[in-house]
Amino acid sequence: MRTAGAVLAASALLLASTVPAAAGGPHDRDSHPSQGRHASDRTITVASFNIHHGADSDDVLDLERIADDIESWDVDVIGLQEVDRHWGARSDFQDQAAELAGMLGMDHCYAANLDQDPTEPGQQRRQYGTAILSTHELQDCRNTPLPNSEDGEQRGLAQADVRVRGSEFTFYTTHLTHLGHEGELREKQFKAVNEIVADSGLPGLLTGDLNAAPHQPEYATFTTLFDDVWTEVGTGDGFTFAPDNPSSRIDYILATPEIIPLSAEVPEVYSSDHFPVVAEVTLPHPRGTSR
């Protein structure tokens, strides 16, 4: 098992990248990304969505269907998991974060947690990871590898700073290990997340597929620094997995105490093998953003 310090030292290998959203496209917003939908009162809509490389539960690839769903929630910032970038035939070798950002008229950061050689010389590197899309400009995008088991799939914490009418916060997204017997590893991974958040001077919103339900022991680590938005303002069980038979809440939006949750929902959409989580939150006044 590598230590958290060793993992953090390897972060240069997996840095997030920022690419401006393409202009136009069928889902292009009317306003410039820096304006946002709710900027006037610092109330924003955020979401978490595991997009399953753009395929539904039957493994039918349809990235535009994903974009249609995201557009329907009128989100300001969204964290995506299981995002391909030139990965392979399963996603038509697309740069999915860039494609979605272009369709939606959003800024984006991509964070590669797996980074492999192309299948043929001269082709793009094959990458798989997470992404952040935003109607507001994303600043200082970066990705930190999280602790891993010797033969496990690398996971990371992607983050970017966002400013809404002078109120600045950090938006995070992650995807923890999925193996049921690796609860201790999930706890170590999220402890590394907490260390990063604790070192930040900004309020934070974290989205992600954490692969653990609230009754599991590692949930206490998830809520050490963050409040669980669903627990605060959601109604019902909030199950996000799997759409064909929802039975588990493993996808989350978490907020540091300075950010006030107003509402939360789990839209029943079938473009992926997870339901998303969507929430409306109010950011603190700019004078109170440091902690």
Residues 12-28 pLDDT 10s: 344 544 444 433 444 44
pTM of the predicted model as reported, rounded to 2 decimal places: 0.88
Q: Is the pLDDT score of 259 beyond 70?
A: yes
pLDDT in tens, 265-287: 999 999 999 999 999 999 998 87
Mean pLDDT of all residues belonging to the chain = 88
Q: Count CB-CB contacts under 10 A for residue 266.
A: 21
Tokens of 156: 């990371």
pLDDT at 246: 97
Quickly name the fold that domain 4-288 has.
Answer: Deoxyribonuclease I; Chain A (3.60.10)
Q: Can you tell me whether residue 42 is helix, strand or coil?
A: coil
Q: Does 142 score more than 90 pLDDT? A: yes
How does pLDDT run across 37-96, given as a tens digit for each residue?
Answer: 444 579 999 999 999 999 999 999 999 999 999 999 999 999 999 999 999 999 999 999
Backbone angles phi, psi at 27, to 5 degrees: -110, 15
Q: Which residue has the tokens 């800024």?
A: 107
Q: Locate the domains of the chain by residue range.
A: 4-288
Q: Who's near 134: CB < 8 A, 6+ residues apart?
A: 33, 76, 77, 78, 106, 107, 108, 160, 162, 171
Residue 288's pLDDT band, with cuts at 50, 70 and 90, is: low
For residue 3, pLDDT beyond 80: no
Residue 22 confidence (pLDDT): 39
pLDDT at position 53: 98
